[in-house]
Amino acid sequence: MAKKPFVWVAALIVAVATVYAVPASAHDWKNTDFANRPLYAYPLPEGRDDIIGTLTTYKIQPGDTLLDVGRWFGLSAKEISDANHHMDWWLPPPGATIILPTEHILPAAPHNGIIMNIPEMRLYYYYPSSTYRRRHGKTELVPASFSAARVVYTFPVGLGRYDWKTPIGKWTVTAKVKDPAWVLPEDIYEEHLERDGEAEHMIPGGDPDNPLGHYKLDLSIPEYGLHGTNVPWGVGMTVSHGCVRLYPEDIDRLFHKVPVGTPGEFVYEPVKFGWRGGAIYVEVHEDLYGKYPALWSYAQQLARARGLTDDIDMDKLEKAVEAKSGVPTYVGLGAEPSPSTISAPPVNPGWESASAPAVGPSAGSETGSESASSGAESEPDPASSADGAWTRLSAP
């Protein structure tokens, strides 16, 4: 009789493991598929507008998981799940049409260098732009300036777990390291030793077990950095010891674009207000580290501090705060103006980048995108994306 609970628990573990193992063998995703997905540069909005991208609809195919679909579209599984009433990451229902949250309100921080919003688990890189000017009858190149960005790139990230919180604060990029070795700090070494019964003091660069991946940007905050990962599905999760993890293809792109000396900041904005064409929206995320337990009160305080209370329908705002969908949601007075969307084709493993779905400022065109594997330093022309190309869909 004493053995029955053990047998029951063992059977349950096997059953759960079987369910969660099914999606892994149901399709034929390869890392090369993700390495070749497009990268989009979003033109910075003008005036007080501060929303980039557009929402996208996607029809779940048999064998899809939100982890693979998210990675293909430059999202995390958590972002897609939050936008779709907390849909199961591993077993989304085939045939269901879902929202891909490929639209974002820019954080309320300077459009300068790298801004990473902790509750959103998303990084924004304001790409410094070179410009031309006429002087003494001649055209000359004006060097790129961090304060003169014309486009922004955005990437999902994984962050520090609750007991190793990613810190708030400003920093600069101090070094760029290819295939960084991981020297375990003593406290992390002791943690691994207690958990596993054994631990290494150092894992060489390029080792498949190295959690830093192949690229790392060192920061002026001691012991913190932006780096890749050997476990891509940790993006969108709080699983690190404080550092910021990116998909392998995303850190490759960022590494080749970001110079040493780039300024950056970790900000904490679970609620973001933004404008587009005279309409006001809110984007609400989980209060990841419990900084604002009364999130509804915080949202109201933020609206008052920004002088927005006369523009906002408080009932709509309260519903958005309750939903925490991570999707820019209209909270203005009256009906939302002209909601619409881009519809993405099915995601088929093995696509070449040229046939990848265009989820960016120029839908249906490769202008403004590049292959992830190119490591290109060239900047897409932000003028190629007309304001009229932006469309959006009301949140479900």
Residues 239 and 350 occupy one common structural domain: no
**Per residue in 344-379, pLDDT tens?**
766 544 333 222 233 333 333 333 455 444 333 333
pLDDT digits (tens, 9 = 90+) for 25-65: 345 677 788 988 889 999 999 999 999 999 999 999 998 99
CA atoms within 13 A on the CB side of 148: 8
> Which one of 253, 268, 283 terminates a domain?
268
Are residues 175 and 294 located together in one domain of the fold?
Answer: no
C-alpha dihedral sign at 392, 394, 395, 396: negative
> What Cα–Cα distance (Å) separates residue 369 from each residue in 255, 381, 384?
17, 10, 11
Name the band, by pLDDT with cuts 50, 70 and 90, for residue 140: low
Query: Could you tell me if 238 and 135 lie in one domain?
Result: yes
Instruction: Among 132-146, 170-184, 312-326, name the one with the lowest average pLDDT.
Output: 132-146
Looking at the structure, do residues 192 and 213 belong to the same domain, yes or no?
A: yes
Residues 118 and 263 in one domain: yes
Stated pTM of the model? 0.80
- Rounded CA-CA distance 257/375 in Å is 8
Q: Within 13 A of 229's CA, how many CA atoms are on the CB side?
A: 21
In a domain, 275, yes or no: yes
pLDDT of residue 17: 34
Calpha distance 264→68 (Å, rounded): 29
Q: What is the mean pLDDT of residues 304-316?
A: 97
Q: Is the dihedral of CA 366, 396, 156, 332 positive or negative?
A: positive
Mean pLDDT of 242-247: 88
Quote the CA–CA distance of 224 and 311 in Å, as a whole number: 40
C-alpha–C-alpha distance, residues 143 and 3, integer Å: 73
Mean pLDDT of the chain: 79
Q: Would 199 be classed as within a structural domain?
A: yes
- What is the domain range of residue 126? 109-268
Residue 2 lies in a domain: no
In angstroms, the first-to-last Cα distance of the chain is: 50
Number of domains within the chain: 2
pLDDT band at 23 (very low <50, low <70, confident <90, very high): very low
**114 plus 227 within the same structural domain:** yes
Whether residues 211 and 321 fall in one domain: no
Is 2's pLDDT higher than 60?
no
Q: Output Rg (C-alpha) for the chain, integer angstroms.
A: 22
**Same structural domain, 178 and 256:** yes
Question: Does one domain contain both 395 and 349?
Answer: yes
Check whether residue 153 and residue 234 sit in a common domain: yes
On whether residue 211 sits in a domain, the answer given is yes
Does residue 69 lie within any of the structural domains? yes
Give residue 137's pLDDT: 66
- Same domain for 131 and 251, yes or no, is yes
Look at residue 229 and give its three-state secondary structure: coil
Last-in-domain residue among 240, 268, 296: 268
CA 350 to chain centre: 23
Q: Which residues of 133-150 are buried (b: 16+ CB within 10 A; e: fewer)?
A: eeeeeeeeeeeeebeebb
What confidence category does residue 132 fall into, taking pLDDT thresholds of 50, 70 and 90?
A: low
Asked if residue 194 belongs to a domain, the reply is yes
**Tokens matching residue 255:** 């590494």
Same domain, yes or no: 215 and 299: no
Domain boundary among 213, 248, 268: 268
